[in-house]
Structure 1
Amino acid sequence: MDNPFLKYTNNLADILQSKNVAYGDSFTKSVDKYGLSVIGARLSDKYNRIEHLITHHELKENDESLEDTLLDMAGYAILGLKYLEEHKNEH
């Protein structure tokens, strides 16, 4: 059975891997330093960006499209899940 979601999740996995290498796993470092609230803060930032793009009828602003922002939000959710899994015995 063909899964139509794989094109999105595979693309997201590739993006997360390349950004994680480029930024030196800064998400994990930030959560380690400032706590789990970093996960909520990053997701909140992206939600606010999505809301702004939609309410201002600007599906692209400063080279960041609604699609890019949605992908970023999904990425931060995945990073949060990965962090929780890797640190489940610490919290």
Structure 2
Amino acid sequence: MQSKRGGCKEGARSHESICKELNNIYKAKNADYGDSFAESYQEWGIISAVVRMDDKMRRLKELAKHDAQVKNESIEDTLLDLANYSIMLLMELQKEGNNND
């Protein structure tokens, strides 16, 4: 039986690994597409991020309903994109000093 502390350490390692993966995806997509998220945010504000995140949530709902894959995008891919969009929105809000702590 694993102690709570051991499970927490394992969870922390998994979290760290996912965060590293998120950062690698962020860098790769910015290399491919430029900083289109920040540019859209500057032009349209928070709604630009909300729309992107809503698209991903709708995709996630469809994937969950049908236990299927949408043209080369899995549930994991969708969740990673959602996580990155959340982080990127937080970055934009922090740039403006609007992180609502």
1:76 deviates by: 0.4
Rg bigger for which structure?
2
Gap runs ≥5 in structure 1: none
- TM-score (norm. length: structure 1): 0.88
2:5 corresponding residue in structure 1: none
> Percent sequence identity over matched residues?
35
Compare the two structures and name the one with the higher helix fraction: 2
4+ aligned runs moved over 3 Å, structure 1: none
Aligned equivalents of 2:70, 2:81: Cα separation in 1: 15
| Corresponding position of 1:10 | 20
Please point out which of 40, 48, 55 is paired with 1:30. 40
Code of the residue aligned with 2:38 in structure 1: it is T
Q: How many residues align?
A: 88
Higher strand share: 1
- The CA distance in 1 between the partners of 2:31 and 2:94, in whole Å, is 20
The 1:87/1:21 distance shift into structure 2, 3 A limit, reads: farther
1: CA distance between counterparts of 2:35 and 2:70?
Answer: 27
TM-score, normalisation: structure 2: 0.80
Partner Cα separation in structure 2 for residue 12 and residue 28 of structure 1 = 17
Distance (Å, rounded) in 1 between the aligned partners of 2:28 and 2:41: 19
* Residue 64 of structure 2 is aligned to residue 54 of structure 1: yes
CA distance in 2, matches of 1:45, 1:52: 11
Unaligned runs of 5+ in 2: 1-8
